[in-house]
Amino acid sequence: MTNETMFARAQRVIPGGVNSPVRAFGAVGGTPRFFERAAGAYLWDVEGRRYIDYVGSWGPMVLGHTHPAVVAAIQAAAARALSFGAPTEAETLLAERLCELVPSIERVRLVSSGTEATMTAIRLARGFTGRKIIVKFEGCYHGHADALLVKAGSGALTFGHPSSAGVPEETAAHTLVLSYNDAEALGAAFARQGAQIAAVIVEPVAGNMNLVLPAPGFLQALREHCSRHGALLIFDEVMTGFRVALGGAQAQYDIRPDLTTLGKVIGGGLPLGALGGRRDIMEKLAPLGPVYQAGTLSGNPLAVAAGLATLQLVVQPRLLERIAATATALTEALVAEARKAGVAFSAQSIGSMFGLYFREAPPKSFTEVMQSDRARFNRFFHAMLGQGVYLAPSAYEAGFVSAAHGEAEVAATLEAARKAFREIG
């Protein structure tokens, strides 16, 4: 069996052959790898080829793949029960952990994906404030709920347009799309419509347009405008939670959002998301309050077991610092290699997330991200893949390092990169 035959077969029964679009290699071309197993920093495809993994299932695998303690916790949970649809003690333990670790979370509800978490956060913000307008930023991804699949309209300050067919214009008409890191545009939006804004939702470190760090003062400006106008500030930490820092980006930048969404790492590789925040807001959720939300598999015993086991290890002293040091070493060495090859390239990392850019300096906005050399990234991607290094198949994704990535993996990656930069230079 080859990746190619499997992809051909999949396309006969699954739209595009994949269950989430970016997996199809549409941006980079070529055949997606079909994987069979994974361990630590490595993946093996159906052809038996091994890859160093920098995708980490798009974020969750912060400990590396198939960590024995996580697998054992899932197996033990599975032997007890797969699902009750009724409360369990483990859900409370996980909720306690999240309240303890994430500074702004006083109450938390578990769901099954990041999308569910952000969708609920939006509904809750609207229900709590009695307002309709949601502010988001171009290039930030918050899952695929209708209100959030919106891109900027023409002109600097307009209501958005649906970024997907099937999203009514009327839905997008309540979403205002601004530029990330543009505190001035934000001020102007609040000056005009502050009394109608229910919430501002933001990736406090943007990881879905490659990696873009918040400009100094940007997150503070968000907090101040929201507080002054009675709008809620939602930090979407589905990606940054337990990646940027133990307490998320909110701990790193010392900002207290009203609501926080989590996912990815907190499920340790199983489907789990969470929505948490101020008690007075969270208690507007059913059954206490009028904002409806529910889920047959919410707080699923296997997902909660995986999450608890993962967080148990993530909180070990200095673990995240060690992964962050690996990410820094990797990106600094990649920049040095590119320079030697004369390739216009930059890179940076924060915590265990990193960005690679085919441009002279790391981008500070969505516009700057779009100015990177995509064709060159695509050639680099394939040159690395051919040498057994699995990067995200798109120039617009962040990369992830895990606790299982050590000096050997970094050295092997650099050796591959040396060749790849020369090939594309």
Ligand X SMILES: *Cc1c(COP(=O)(O)O)cnc(C)c1O
Binding site for ligand X (CB under 6 A): 113-115, 118, 141-143, 203, 207-208, 236, 238-239, 263, 273
From 264, 357, 390, 396, the catalytic residue: 264
From 45, 236, 258, 396, the catalytic residue: 236
**Closer residue to ligand X, CB minimum distance, 38 or 398:** 398
Closest contact distance (angstroms) between CB of 134 and ligand X is: 14
Closest contact distance (angstroms) between CB of 310 and ligand X is: 15
How many CA atoms lie within 13 Å of 322's alpha carbon, on the beta-carbon side? 15
CB-based contacts of 255, cutoff 8 Å, min separation 6: 204, 219, 220, 222, 223, 233, 235, 249
Q: Is 141 a catalytic residue?
A: yes
Query: Whose CA is closest to 163, among 183, 146, 140?
Result: 146
CA 60 from chain center: how many Å? 9
**Closer residue to ligand X, CB minimum distance, 115 or 378:** 115
**Closer residue to ligand X, CB minimum distance, 143 or 393:** 143
Torsion of CA 374, 378, 380, 382, to 10 degrees: 180
From 42, 51, 54, 141, the catalytic residue: 141
Closest contact distance (angstroms) between CB of 142 and ligand X is: 5
**Closer residue to ligand X, CB minimum distance, 137 or 380:** 137
The structure tokens listed for 239 are 């990606």
Residue with tokens 């006083």: 106
**Closer residue to ligand X, CB minimum distance, 131 or 142:** 142
The structure tokens listed for 201 are 């939702």
Q: What's the one-letter identity of residue 31?
A: T
Q: Assess contact for 7 and 34: CB atoms under 8 A.
A: yes
Q: Is 182 a catalytic residue?
A: no
CB-based contacts of 188, cutoff 8 Å, min separation 6: 157
Q: What is the rounded radius of gyration, in angstroms, for the C-alpha atoms of the chain?
A: 21
**Closer residue to ligand X, CB minimum distance, 142 or 174:** 142
> Cα dist. 129→124, 177, 233, 285, 306 in Å?
8, 20, 12, 13, 35
**Closer residue to ligand X, CB minimum distance, 264 or 382:** 264
Closest contact distance (angstroms) between CB of 363 and ligand X is: 17
Q: Assess contact for 114 and 238: CB atoms under 8 A.
A: yes
Q: Assess contact for 50 and 43: CB atoms under 8 A.
A: yes
Q: Which long-range contacts (CB under 8 A, 24 or more apart) does 31-40 make?
A: 31/3, 31/4, 31/7, 32/3, 32/7, 32/393, 33/3, 33/385, 33/390, 34/3, 34/6, 34/7, 34/10, 37/66, 38/65, 38/66, 39/64, 39/65, 39/66, 40/64, 40/65, 40/66, 40/402, 40/404
**Closer residue to ligand X, CB minimum distance, 114 or 162:** 114
Closest contact distance (angstroms) between CB of 392 and ligand X is: 12
Residue with tokens 């889920």: 295
| 52 DSSP 8-state letter | E
Q: Diameter of the chain by CA atoms?
A: 61
Closest contact distance (angstroms) between CB of 293 and ligand X is: 15
Closest contact distance (angstroms) between CB of 149 and ligand X is: 12
Neighbours of 97 (CB within 10 A): 18
The structure tokens listed for 74 are 């899932």
Nearest-CB residue for ligand X: 114
Closest contact distance (angstroms) between CB of 267 and ligand X is: 8
- Catalytic residues, by residue number, are 141, 236, 264
